[in-house]
Amino acid sequence: MMQQYIDQAEEYILHTYNRYQVVFDHGDGVNLYDTDGKEYLDFVSGIGVFALGYNNKKYNDAVKAQVDKILHTSNYYYNVPAAEAAKAVVEASGMDKVFFTNSGAEAVEGALKVARKYAYLKDGKTDHEIIAMQHSFHGRTFGALSVTGTDKYREPFGPMIGNIKFANMNDLDSVKALITDKTCAIICETLQGEGGIHPATEEFLKGLRALCDETGALLILDEIQCGMGRTGYMYCWHKYGVKPDVMTTAKALGGGIPMGAFLMTKEVADNSLVAGDHGTTYGGNPLAGAACVEVFKLYEELNICENAKTVGAYLFDRLEEIKENYDEIIDHRGMGLMQGLEFNKPVADVINNALDNGLVLINAGTNIIRFLPPLIVTKEDVDRMIAVLKEAIENAH
């Protein structure tokens, strides 16, 4: 039966994903089940989306209740869930204003437009530059791709949007070397995800903040993957106290319903986008808003950030043990429940072997295994994962 669904998907869906040979049917807690009924321990959480785990009754009931009321009205009108969601995310983030999108990439697009409009209103010019980081990943749309610091993602689709420069993560001098009077923004993931699980250092973030304060450029922090409690802090920058001018968020924001957002300070909000500058048909619709509101309620009720911190520390210790025991593992990085093991060879065999044995893992690049479990994960779940991971490493070619 499972193969039938795989064949059908390959016949009709454009092949832009090299998918693992499994069809997931339902989930419960930290476990997924395929169409044949096999159980899997999930350490991917839909790439950091399903922070609350699967089949959370309160979340499901909130979404179902909204389905029975109203799903969509468009942004020509107000709706209650969007207003409540806006209050929740602004208060949780420490920012001042929010614009809701449907995805992380769209949030980045909005953030880039904010930066250029802010600079345009200051000097009336349209030749402003943005500094991004090497090995970053911000999305697949043209603007987001233009600030993604990996050549292979950009090259087939050139030319990108102009006036983008790339500095090196955690190398402040490389940023200083690129700044000119045209620089309107610096964009950086607080903890790089797709590019290999590279956390920004406190010194680097504080250096970026100081540079932006000195030059008038905006600091944009991309918290799409590392935000929403993933590192043990609601947003990763909270750990360092380095507040951005603009921030992007998505992934777990809607708890599984597609939702993203970009947020900004009052200063930026008052001096950038105005009516007619930006829009979206679906962004912040009542369904996504209701899901988002319930996510924040459950984060507080379940003490999600504290669990990510505590279990994340345990995961770090267990992965350190793994690193010490296998010569092919050359590094271990990350924070909270966003960590990576770097191997000296491709990790596809390890991931496939783990999947065969009921453990769901993904890579970040060809030689890094990324660990992004639901944020309700327990130490016992970590132990279960470690046991399968060891076997997968030993059995991989």
| Contact call for residues 193 and 364 (beta carbons, < 8 A) | yes
Q: What is the DSSP letter of 217?
A: P
Top-confidence residue, 331 or 397: 331
SS3 content of the chain, % helix, strand, coil (to 5): 40, 20, 40
Structure confidence at residue 43 as a pLDDT band (50, 70, 90): very high
Q: What is the pLDDT of residues 268-295, one digit of tens each?
A: 999 999 999 999 999 999 999 999 999 9
Mean pLDDT of 63-84: 97
Percent of all residues in the chain with a pLDDT value above 90, rounded to a whole number: 98
Buried b (16+ CB within 10 A) or exposed e, 66-87: beeeeeeeebeeebebbebbbe
Mean pLDDT of 311-336: 97
| Contact call for residues 222 and 138 (beta carbons, < 8 A) | yes
Structure confidence at residue 195 as a pLDDT band (50, 70, 90): confident
Mean pLDDT of 224-236: 98
- β 246-249/260-264 pair status: antiparallel
- β 97-101/260-264 pair status: antiparallel
Q: What is the CATH number of domain 2-55+303-395?
A: 3.90.1150.10
| CATH architecture, domain defined by 59-301 | 3-Layer(aba) Sandwich (3.40)
With 0.85 as the threshold, say if the pTM is over it. Answer: yes
Q: What is the DSSP letter of 108?
A: H
Tokens of 271: 């001096």
* Of 387, 228, 233, 194, nearest in space to 298 by CA: 228
Percent of all residues in the chain with a pLDDT value above 70, rounded to a whole number: 100
Structure confidence at residue 196 as a pLDDT band (50, 70, 90): confident
Asked if pLDDT for residue 328 goes beyond 80, the answer is yes
Could you state, in order of their start, the residue ranges of all structural domains in the chain?
2-55+303-395, 59-301
Q: What is the pLDDT of residues 243-257, one digit of tens each?
A: 999 999 999 999 999
Mean pLDDT of 283-310: 98
| Residues ≥6 apart with Cβ < 8 Å to 254 | 288, 291, 292, 295
Mean pLDDT of 214-229: 98
Structure confidence at residue 28 as a pLDDT band (50, 70, 90): very high
Mean pLDDT, the chain, whole residue set: 97
Structure confidence at residue 237 as a pLDDT band (50, 70, 90): very high
Where does residue 95 fall: left (phi above 0), alpha (psi -120 to 50 degrees), or beta otherwise? Answer: beta
Structure confidence at residue 194 as a pLDDT band (50, 70, 90): confident
- What pLDDT is stored for residue 396 in this prediction? 87
Asked if pLDDT for residue 397 goes beyond 80, the answer is no
| Residues ≥6 apart with Cβ < 8 Å to 129 | 163, 164, 165, 180, 182, 183, 184
Please name the helix (run of DSSP H) or strand (run of DSSP E) that holds residue 218, with its range, or none: strand 218-222
Q: How far apart are CA 226 and CA 48, in angstroms?
A: 8
Structure confidence at residue 32 as a pLDDT band (50, 70, 90): very high
| Contact call for residues 376 and 302 (beta carbons, < 8 A) | yes
Q: How far apart are CA 127 and CA 298, in angstroms?
A: 45
Q: How far apart are CA 372 and CA 156, in angstroms?
A: 29
Q: What is the pLDDT of residues 127-171, one digit of tens each?
A: 999 999 999 999 999 999 999 999 999 999 999 999 999 999 999
Please name the helix (run of DSSP H) or strand (run of DSSP E) that holds residue 130, with its range, or none: strand 129-133
Please name the helix (run of DSSP H) or strand (run of DSSP E) that holds residue 60, with its range, or none: helix 57-67
Asked if pLDDT for residue 53 goes beyond 80, the answer is yes
Q: What is the DSSP letter of 238?
A: G
